[in-house]
Each structure stands twice: as structure tokens, then as C-alpha cells.
């Protein structure tokens, strides 16, 4: 089938219009009239992802994180990011990105996180952008919640934002935002969260959260790898003859020792 037709099916589920203003989503590389037989779903497009796509002979990569996030000033092999684009073009591989729209859409990544964590009475966290979720949990402790997060996201360790290190603190309400959502912590507090779960919480934001009585769990940005099975399953439901392949490459730039 043509790439444009496959994209149309995806955008019925996850429209581009849901993306946060200025977010570069949609077809970034390639010809919409291209015939598509194999799709690779991945979180990031890095050197190893491009090589994986070439080795697998795919026609298009669907990624969460945009390949081209800012305007390119040139297109040469002298710059690593530009070289990725050139390698994809020369290999005839198209690129489509679904970034904040998959976070916002009903049944998207943040809703999937809520499902994995057993949340109920779920609401949108940031009403302006539609990003993040907040909901209730059965009465639990900070210790039990952190262990559940590690299990659900297959983590050996994570960071907790707390002064007192009281792992028996009672938790009934959780806010979350996949990726880097540190700026939304005041909304989480206003909406009654006991804990805010998001990646990339920086030092001073942690201080500010605790001063307002909000705990934090930072499992890292890479929990968004859940995009891969979620989107692959959705694409298989399209009932096309297109083969959907889930990337096996680890693109997490951090390594715990």
C-alpha cells in the first residue's frame, strides 16, 4: 500500500493536530507515494536504528522522537544528525514521527502508562496542552509504588524526589507525564497528587516540589520505549498486508553501574 494511505490510517487514531504547538510531527523524510511493505517502530532514530532499518530492509520508520527537531542549516556528512538524514534518504527509507500527539491522544502513551500502573478515575493533567494524566491508586506506600514502577518499566533503579526518605509514606493519587515533564509539577500539586512521575526532573525543580509537599519519581526518559509495542499493536489492527517490526535496538544514552 502507499505510504500516504498507511499514514492516513495511523492519523485516524492519532491526528497530527493533537501535537503541542511547534512540535514537528508527521512525515519528515520520504515520498508519500512510496509503496510500503515493512514498517519499523522505534523510540529514537540514531545511528544504530538507521542500521537496523537498513539491515531489515524496511520502507519507513515510525518514531516517537523527531529525527529533525530544528531546522537544518545544511545537509552534509560533516554533521552526525545531518548524516542520519542522508543515510536514510540514500537507503530509500522514509521517516514519520509521532511525538506529543501520541502523548495527548486518548489511548496513547500516557493512558497506556496509567493502565500499566493500575490507575483509576483518570483525568488530563495539563488542560491547555492535553499532556499528562492524573488519577487515583489503591492505598499504597511510596516503597510499594516505586517497586511497581520498576517492575512495570523493567528498571533496575530510579530516582525518588524526597527529603525524608520515608518509604512508608501513604500514596493514593498519582500524576504522570511520559518523557521530560518537569514543568508540569505545579499542576500535579494543584490537582492533589501525592507523587509526580516523570523523566528528567532537575535539581532545583526537585527542591521546589518538596517545598510544596509533592514527592517525585523519576524513572528516566527512556520509559517511553513503551511507544514501540503500543504503536506496533495499533498498526497491526489496521489489517493491512504491511509487516510491522518492533525495534530491538537500545537507544537509552544512560547506563547504570
The reply to whether 183 falls in a domain is yes
Q: Are residues 47 and 110 in the same domain?
A: no
| Predicted local distance difference test score (pLDDT) of residue 163 | 85
Distance CA 157, CA 151 (A): 10
* Domain range for 171: 106-221
Other beta carbons within 10 Å of 44: 22
Q: Does some domain include residue 256?
A: no
Query: Last residue of a domain, which of 64, 81, 101?
Result: 101
Query: How far is residue 127's CA from residue 146's CA, in Å, rounded to a whole number?
Result: 27
Q: Does residue 167 share a domain with residue 83?
A: no
CA distance 242 to 236: 8
Check whether residue 134 and residue 93 sit in a common domain. Answer: no
Residue 164 assigned to a binding site: no
Length of the chain: 257
pLDDT averaged over 10-residue windows placed end to end, the chain, 257 residues:
98 97 96 97 97 98 95 89 95 98 98 98 97 98 97 95 87 97 97 98 96 97 98 96 98 89
CA dihedral sign of residues 155, 159, 160, 161:
negative
Residues 162 and 190 in one domain: yes
- Residue 228's pLDDT is what? 98
Are 40 and 7 members of one domain? yes
Say if residue 82 is in the same domain as residue 38: yes
Give the residues across from 7 on adjacent strands.
none
221 among the known binding-site residues? yes
Contact 97, 26 (CB under 8 A): yes
In a domain? residue 226: no
Q: What is the pLDDT of residue 28?
A: 97
Q: Count how many domains the chain has.
A: 2
**What span, in angstroms and rounded, lies between the C-alpha atoms of 152 and 207?**
27
103 is in an annotated binding site: yes
In this structure, what CATH number is given to the domain that contains residue 40?
Answer: 3.40.1390.30
What is the per-residue pLDDT for 166? 82
pLDDT at 72: 85
Q: Are residues 81 and 21 in the same domain?
A: yes
Q: Alpha carbon of 93 to those of 50, 145, 233: distances in Å? A: 9, 41, 21
pLDDT of residue 257: 79
pLDDT of residue 73: 85
165 annotated as belonging to a binding site for a ligand: no
Yes or no: say if 52 and 39 are a contact pair by the CB < 8 Å rule. no
pLDDT for 256: 80
Amino acid at each position: 500500500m502507499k505510504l500516504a494511505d498507511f499514514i492516513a490510517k495511523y492519523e485516524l487514531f492519532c491526528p497530527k493536530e493533537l501535537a503541542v504547538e511547534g512540535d514537528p510531527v508527521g512525515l519528515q523524510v520520504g515520498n508519500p507515494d512510496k509503496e510500503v511493505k515493512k514498517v519499523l517502530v522505534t523510540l529514537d532514530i540514531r545511528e544504530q536504528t538507521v542500521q537496523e532499518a537498513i539491515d531489515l530492509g524496511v520502507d519507513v520508520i515510525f518514531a516517537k522522537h523527531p529525527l529533525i527537531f530544528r531546522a537544518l542549516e545544511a545537509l552534509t556528512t560533516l554533521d552526525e544528525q545531518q548524516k542520519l538524514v542522508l543515510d536514510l534518504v540514500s537507503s530509500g527509507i522514509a521517516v514519520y514521527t509521532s511525538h506529543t500527539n501520541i502523548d495527548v491522544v486518548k489511548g496513547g502513551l500516557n493512558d497506556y502508562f496509567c493502565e500499566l500502573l493500575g490507575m483509576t478515575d483518570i483525568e488530563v493533567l495539563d488542560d491547555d496542552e492535553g499532556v499528562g494524566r492524573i488519577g487515583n491508586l489503591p492505598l499504597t506506600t511510596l516503597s510499594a509504588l516505586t517497586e511497581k514502577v520498576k517492575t512495570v518499566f523493567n528498571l533496575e533503579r530510579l530516582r525518588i524526589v524526597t527529603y525524608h526518605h520515608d518509604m512508608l509514606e501513604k500514596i493514593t493519587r498519582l500524576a504522570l507525564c511520559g518523557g521530560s515533564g518537569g514543568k508540569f509539577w505545579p499542576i500535579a500539586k494543584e490537582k492533589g497528587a501525592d507523587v509526580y512521575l516523570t523523566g528528567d526532573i532537575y535539581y532545583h525543580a526537585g527542591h521546589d516540589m518538596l517545598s510544596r509537599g509533592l514527592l517525585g519519581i523519576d524513572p528516566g526518559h527512556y520509559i517511553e520505549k513503551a511507544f514501540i509495542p503500543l504503536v506496533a499493536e495499533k498498526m497491526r489492527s489496521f489489517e493491512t498486508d504491511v509487516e510491522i517490526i518492533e525495534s530491538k535496538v537500545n537507544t537509552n544514552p544512560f547506563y547504570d553501574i
